[in-house]
Amino acid sequence: MKTFWKRGFVLATVFALAAIAVPAQPKPAGGLSVPVTYYRLPNGLRVVLSPEKSAPLVTVAVYYNIGFRIEPKDRTGFAHLFEHLMFQGSKNLGKMEYIKLVENNGGVLNGSTRFDFTNYFAVVPSHKLETLLWAEADRMRGLDITDENLKNQQGVVSNEVIVNVLNQPYGTFPWIDLPMAAFQNWYNSHNFYGELKDIEAATLGDSKTFFDKYYSPKNAVLVVVGDFDEPEAKQFVSKYFANIPAQAPDALPDISEPRQEAERTVSRTDKLANKPAVAFGYQMPKRGTPEYFAMGLIDQIMLQGEDSLIHQEFVKKKGYAGGVGGGINAYLGNMFNYNGPMLFAMDMIHDDKYTADEIKASLDEVVRQLQTQPVAQKDIDRAIVKLRSGLYDTLQQFGGFGRADLLASFALFDDRPQNINQIEANFRKVTPALIQKTAREYLRSTNRTVVIVNPETKGGKND
C-alpha cells in the first residue's frame, strides 16, 4: 500500500444508537453544506455517515488514532509497519484477500501512515457497501498475525525505506528533515519512517500488543461517504462492528513543543542530488485557534498559486527556481488532518548560482510586508476564493475519499465532524489586523528552521 505521502437482529441496537446519536449541526449560511450524521457504538467506535448520491459509489474509511509521531519510543517505524500488516489477512480473509475482494468488485483501496493517524479506505460500487463493511470489521476484530507475515512485511518496509528514501536524491528533504530539525520533543522529531534496527527487531508479541492497544473500536473512526441508504448503512455498521470488544487505548503522549526562541539551521550533503535545495519551516499556531485560521490565509497569500508573494518574488522576479512548494502540513496532508505541533513550510531546489542566505534575505522581505503593512480586504477575499477552490477539489478527490478524510479528521481530533461545514466561516472571521499580528508572532525569524541540502562536489562533501 502507498504510505505517507489510501439485519434483523439489529433493530434493538438501532434504537439504542438513536439514543446516543449526536444531532447534526444546522447548516451554516454559505460555505459547505455536507450532510453529517455522527454517533458512537456502545463499544466506543465513532461512526460518521455522509450521503452523496452523484455517482453510484461508496467510500468506507477507517482511521485509527495511531500515527508515526505518537508511536512508542522503542518502536520507531511501527505505525508504518502495522499499516502493511493490516493487509496480510484476518479471521475470515486470508493473506491479501481483502485487496482481492475490493479489486474484484471493481473497487480501489489504499492505506497510509500520517503524523497522528493510520488510515485505510476503499471505494467500491454502492451495492457492495455491506461486503466492504464486513471485511473492514473482520480485520478490526482480529488480524491473522503470523511470524511469516511479520517477517515478510519487515522486509517490505525496510526495502521501501531503502528504495524510496535512502537511495533517492533529496529522499528525506524536507518532509523528514524539517520536523527533525525544528522540533525538540522526540515524538515530533524522530525519524518517522523508522530506524531499520527497530523495524527488524519487531516480534510477533510486539505486533499483537500493538494491535490490541491501538486498533480497538475506541481508538477508531469509521466513515461512510457516497450513494447509500442511511438507515440501511446504520444496520450494516451495527451488525458488523457493534460486537467487536471494546478496549481502552493507551493515553496519548505529550507532544507539546516549547515556543521557539532562536532560528535553527541544519545542512547536509546529498551525494545523489545535482542542485542545492533549501527549505524554511515556521512553527504553526495551535490548531483551531484564530491565529491558525489566519495562517491558513497567510499560506494562500504568501505561497499558493502564481499570484502569491513568494512565487512573484522567488520565481518571477529573482529566478531562484522554477517553482516553490510547501504549505501547512503540505508534505503529508493538509492543514486539517493533523493534531499537534506543525510547520508552515516552503522548499525549493534552486539554481546553484544563488545561496541559501540570499534566498532567506528575500523571504525576510516578503515576511516584512505582512508584518508591517495590513493586508487589503481584497487580498483576503482572493485568498478565501483560492482556499475554497482547493477545498472543493479535496471533497471530490478519489471517489469521495477527500470528504471522508476531512470528516474522519474532525471526528478523530475534535469529536465534531460537523466542523467540516464551519471551515469557510472560520476563515471569514480573519481580519487584516489578525493577519498582521499572526505574521509578527509566527513568521519571526526566531520561529524559523532552515534546512539546506548541498550536492556533493567532486572533491568530497560540501556542507
Pairing type for strands 264-270 and 448-455 reads parallel
Q: What is the mean pLDDT of residues 361-390?
A: 96
Band (pLDDT 50/70/90 cuts) for residue 400 is: confident
pLDDT digits (tens, 9 = 90+) for 42-69: 999 999 999 999 999 999 999 999 999 9
Higher pLDDT, 1 or 320: 320
The DSSP bridge partners found for residue 226 are: 51, 58
H/E element, 104: helix 97-104
Amino acid at 303: L
> In whole angstroms, what is the distance from residue 132 CA to residue 129 CA?
5
Q: What is the mean pLDDT of residues 114-140?
A: 97
Residue 461's pLDDT is 52
Closest CA to 223 of 400, 348, 10: 400
Candidate from 49-53, 155-159, 350-354, 415-419 with smallest mean pLDDT: 155-159
Q: What is the mean pLDDT of residues 268-292?
A: 97
Measured CA distances, 237 to 21, 128, 416 (Å): 14, 13, 19
Residue 463's pLDDT is 54
Statement: residue 403 has pLDDT above 60: yes
- Please state the φ and ψ torsions of residue 242, each to the nearest 5 degrees: -65, -25
Cell 471517489 found at: 399
Per residue, the 3-state secondary structure of 158-199, as one string, reads HHHHHHHHHCCCCCCCCCCHHHHHHCCCHHHHCCCCCCHHHH
Pairing type for strands 343-349 and 325-328 reads antiparallel
- Express as a percent the part of the chain with pLDDT over 90: 73
Statement: residue 3 has pLDDT above 60: no
Higher pLDDT, 337 or 198: 337
Band (pLDDT 50/70/90 cuts) for residue 199 is: confident
Residue 396's pLDDT is 81
Statement: residue 418 has pLDDT above 50: yes
Question: 158 near 103, Cβ under 8 Å?
Answer: no
Statement: residue 30 has pLDDT above 80: no
Closest CA to 275 of 355, 163, 162: 355
Q: Give 121's contacts (C-beta < 8 A, 6+ positions apart).
A: 6, 59, 60, 61, 62, 109, 110, 111, 401, 404
DSSP-based three-state secondary structure for 337 = coil
C-alpha cell at 448: 524559523
Band (pLDDT 50/70/90 cuts) for residue 24 is: very low
Band (pLDDT 50/70/90 cuts) for residue 431 is: very high
Question: 10 near 235, Cβ under 8 Å?
Answer: yes
- The whole-chain average pLDDT of the chain stands at 90
Statement: residue 104 has pLDDT above 90: yes
Statement: residue 37 has pLDDT above 90: yes
Band (pLDDT 50/70/90 cuts) for residue 325 is: very high
Q: What is the mean pLDDT of residues 337-349?
A: 97
> In whole angstroms, what is the distance from residue 337 CA to residue 328 CA?
10
Q: What is the mean pLDDT of residues 410-424?
A: 97
> In whole angstroms, what is the distance from residue 450 CA to residue 73 CA?
26
Band (pLDDT 50/70/90 cuts) for residue 23 is: very low
Band (pLDDT 50/70/90 cuts) for residue 231 is: very high
Q: What is the mean pLDDT of residues 268-273?
A: 95
How many C-beta atoms surround the C-beta of residue 15 within 10 A?
9
Cis peptide before 174 (omega within 30 of 0): yes
pTM: 0.91
Candidate from 170-179, 203-212, 300-309, 411-420 with smallest mean pLDDT: 203-212
Q: What is the mean pLDDT of residues 412-438?
A: 97
Q: What is the mean pLDDT of residues 457-463?
A: 61
Band (pLDDT 50/70/90 cuts) for residue 161 is: confident
Question: 114 near 333, Cβ under 8 Å?
Answer: yes
